[in-house]
Amino acid sequence: MIMKILKEFKEFAMRGNVIDMAVGIIIGTAFGKIVSSLVNDVIMPPIGLLLGNVDFLNLAITLKSQTVEAEAVTLNYGVFINTIVDFIIVAFAIFIVIKQMNRLMPKKEVPAAEPTTKECPKCFTVIPIKATRCPNCTSEL
């Protein structure tokens, strides 16, 4: 029983698409770290400087002050803003990659639909393709 499950798992794990997915997840994680650093260390500091020396990572609303027994409860909206910018950059990068992949993929030609009508050779009325007699001029087709 266990050997059968292990054999099935090995077959599943060795499929090309599973390995491709694993590589994609690893690269995506690394890309996410790069984008987070880009947002936190390159993009947001100049924006904070333009807005009057604002450090977005420290922007928060204190909901409950710190006491001897408990930490302060804060609403960290600056971190949330950084995360939104992070997401927008990742989404835009994925959009560009997919757009380029679609552009490079060969276009599939859609086969032309078979006609369902034809013209009567005598009166040029449009009639069903399977018709053997024209309903307009009654000529045999």
Does the residue 109 lie in any domain? no
Domain with 121 in it: 114-141
pLDDT at 16 over 70: no
The mean predicted confidence, pLDDT, of the chain is 85
- In terms of domains, do 55 and 97 share one? yes
- In terms of domains, do 70 and 16 share one? yes
The count of domains in the chain is: 2
pLDDT for 94-131, tens place per residue?
888 888 888 887 877 878 888 889 998 888 889 888 88
CB crowding 10-38: b at 16 or more within 10 Å, else e = eeeeeeeeeeeeeeeeeeeeeeeeebbee
- In terms of domains, do 75 and 122 share one? no
Distance, first Cα to last Cα, the chain: 69
